[in-house]
Structure 1
C-alpha cells in the first residue's frame, strides 16, 4: 500500500487547500496529481500481483486513450464548425476548431513516426507528445476543479451579490448570456435575503464599451427592474472594462458600504473558477457561482478560460515547456 502514499499526500494537500482557500489553482493541480498517482499505484500493484493482467490493462488503456483522442478531435472540429455558424469566425470562436485540428496534426505526426522510424522525427514527436500531455493534464485539472468548485457549498451569509457584465447587443440590449447571469443573481439574492438580517444589495458591474449606447451595468439594472426587481436594492458599477476591474471597482463599493462585507459574485459557469481566482488576487471576500451556458458555447469558452489561466502563470508554465523542449533537443544531440 506504500505505492499509494504520493496519491494520499496530494489528496491531503488538496483538502487542506480547499479548506484554507478554495479559489487557488494549486488545488486543481494537486487534485489532478492525486488522480494520476492513484492510477499509477493501482497499475503498479496490479503488475506485482498479476503481470499478464497488468499488461493487458495497459494495452487497453493505451487503446482507450488513442480512441479518446480521435473522438475528442472529431468533437472539437464539429463544435468549431457550429461555433462559426452561430457566433461568427472571431479568433475566440475558433479555439475549439484549432484545438481539434492540433490533435489531428499530432495523430498524423505519430503515424508518420511509426511508419518512417526516423530518429529525428521520433524525437520531435516525443517532444510534441510531452508538451501536449502537459497541456492536457493542466486542462483536465482546470476543467475538473472548475466543476468541483461550482458544486462547493455556498456560504449562508452575504451582504452583496455582484453580477459581472459581458457586453451588450446592438449597443443597449442584454444578450441571452448576460440575461442568464442576471437570472442567477436574482435567485441567489432571494435565497440570501431570506437568510440575512439586513437587505442584500445587488451590484451590476460593467462599463460602457465604444460600441455601446450606455454602460452595461445600467442596461443590466434596467433588465432586472423590468422583471420586478426593486431598484433601491441595485448599485451600479459603471467604470469597469475587464473582469479584474469588475471585481476591483465592486470591491470599493462594498468596502465603502460595509468594511466587513461578504459577497457572492455571479458569472457564467465556464467563467466561475477563473473569476474566483481573480477575486482572490483582488482581495475580495466571497464566493463565485455560475449560471447555465448553451452547450455548444462551452468547449471554446473553457479553452479560452484555460488559456487565460495558463498565461496568468506564464513564468512557471513556459519554463516547464522550455524544459521539455530542451530535453528533446538534448536527447537528439546526445543520440
Structure 2
C-alpha cells in the first residue's frame, strides 16, 4: 500500500514537471500566447495537489495540521469573495463613478454586479413560465456560457500577470510610450503621466548605468477634441521632466494601439540603428494586448507597465478581456453554438433517460441478432 502511495506521489511530481517544462518552452517562445495560461495553471494546481499528497504521506502531524488549517482558511477567503462579489463590484462602481466619468467603459463592474443580482430571479422566471424542456435548456445554456467566460477570464488574468514578470536589460535603443488621451485639449492626464514617468525612469537609469541614452518615441495622434497631437504634448512633458530634447521624438499620426506600433516601427526603421532593441511603455493592465499589437505590426518589442490606481483596475481589466475576446469572436461564436447543442443533449439525457435506455437496448438487441 505504501509502495502504491509513493508511486502516485512520484507520478504526480513527474506530471507537474512535464507541465512546467511545456509552459516554460511556450512562454520563452512567445509570451503573448493565451495557451500559456492553461499550461501554467495545469502546472500550478498539479504542483499544490502533489505537494499536499506528499505532505500527507509524511504522516507528520506537526506539518499536516498547520498546512491543513492554512488551506481551509484560503478556501474560506475564496468562498467569501465569491459570496460578496456583487457587493464588491457595486463598491468599486461607486468609487469609479465618484472619480471618473460615467461612461460605459467605466460602468462594467456596475453592470456585472447587477447581472449577478438578477440572474437567480431570471432563472426563476424561466422555470415558472416556460415548458420544462425549454426551461431546462435556457437555464443550462447560460450556466455553460458563464463557466466558459469565467474560464477564459481566469486564463486571461493568468497571462496578464505572467506578462508583468519582465525586467528588461538597460541596453535599449528605443522606448515607445503609448498615448492615452489628453485633457483640456493639450494637457497630459494623470494616467498618461504615469506612462511617461515610467519611460523616463528607464531612460534615466540606462543613461546613468551605461551612458547610452535611448530615443524615446511618444506615440499618439490628435483627437477631435484636442488642440495638439498627443505625441507632441507627451514629448514636451517629457522634456520638461528631464529627457534630452534630441532624445525625444513625437509620432503624431496614430489613432489606435496598433497604429502606435506601426508608425513607431516606421520611425525606428528609418533610423541608422542596426538590429534596434526596443521596449514599449503603457499601463500594466494594457501590456499584454499591446504586445499582441506589436507582434501584429512586426515590431520586436516587449512592454513594461506603469502602475494603475487600484479602483481603476477592475473596469480596465474587463475592457481588455472583452477586447481580447473580440479578436477571436468567430472561435467563441462557434463554442457558444456547440454549448447550446450540448445543453440540448444534456437536457434530453436528463428528462428522457428512459428513452435513451430503451434506445440503447434496442441497438444492443439489433447487434446481438446480426
- Same fold at TM > 0.5: yes
The Cα shift of 1:4 comes to: 6.5
SS at match of 2:216: strand
Larger radius of gyration: 2
Mapped to 1, the partners of 2:136 and 2:52 lie a distance apart of: 27
Query: Superposition pairs for residues 185-204 of structure 1, below 5 Å?
Result: 185-196=199-210, 198-204=212-218
1:104 and 2:106 correspond: no
1:91 to 104, 120, 133: 104
Q: How many residues of Structure 1 are paired with residues of Structure 2 in the alignment? A: 328
Q: Which has the higher contact order (CA 8 A, sep 6+)?
A: 1
Q: Which moved more, 1:6-15 or 1:229-238?
A: 6-15
For structure 2, the 5+ residue unaligned runs are 1-7, 56-71, 352-370
Corresponding residue for residue 14 of structure 1: 23
Corresponding residue for residue 77 of structure 1: 90
1:226 and 2:235 correspond: no
Distance 1:6-1:133 versus aligned 2 partners, 3 A rule: farther
Provide, for residues 227-285 of structure 1, a one-character-per-residue CA deviation record: whole Å limited to 9, x for no partner: 23211101110000000000111011112212411111000111111111221222211
1:165 and 2:162 correspond: no
1:316 and 2:331 correspond: yes
SS at match of 2:341: helix
TM, length-normalised to structure 2 = 0.78
Corresponding residue for residue 282 of structure 1: 297
Corresponding residue for residue 62 of structure 2: none
1:25 and 2:34 correspond: yes
Q: Which moved more, 1:133-142 or 1:100-109?
A: 100-109
8 Å contact 1:168–1:175 — kept in the other structure? yes
The Cα shift of 1:295 comes to: 1.1
Q: CA RMSD, aligned part only?
A: 3.4
Provide, for residues 11-63 of structure 1, a one-character-per-residue CA deviation record: whole Å limited to 9, x for no partner: 322111111122322212322343455677789999xxxxxxxxxxxx99998
Corresponding residue for residue 67 of structure 2: none
SS at match of 1:235: strand
Mapped to 1, the partners of 2:313 and 2:276 lie a distance apart of: 32
Provide, for residues 93-112 of structure 1, a one-character-per-residue CA deviation record: whole Å limited to 9, x for no partner: 11111122222234556788
Mapped to 2, the partners of 1:250 and 1:244 lie a distance apart of: 10
SS at match of 1:91: coil
Query: Superposition pairs for residues 1-335 of structure 1, below 5 Å?
Result: 1=8, 2=11, 8-35=17-44, 67-108=80-121, 120-196=134-210, 198-257=212-271, 258-334=273-349, 335=351
Distance 1:34-1:129 versus aligned 2 partners, 3 A rule: farther
TM, length-normalised to structure 1 = 0.85
SS at match of 2:187: coil
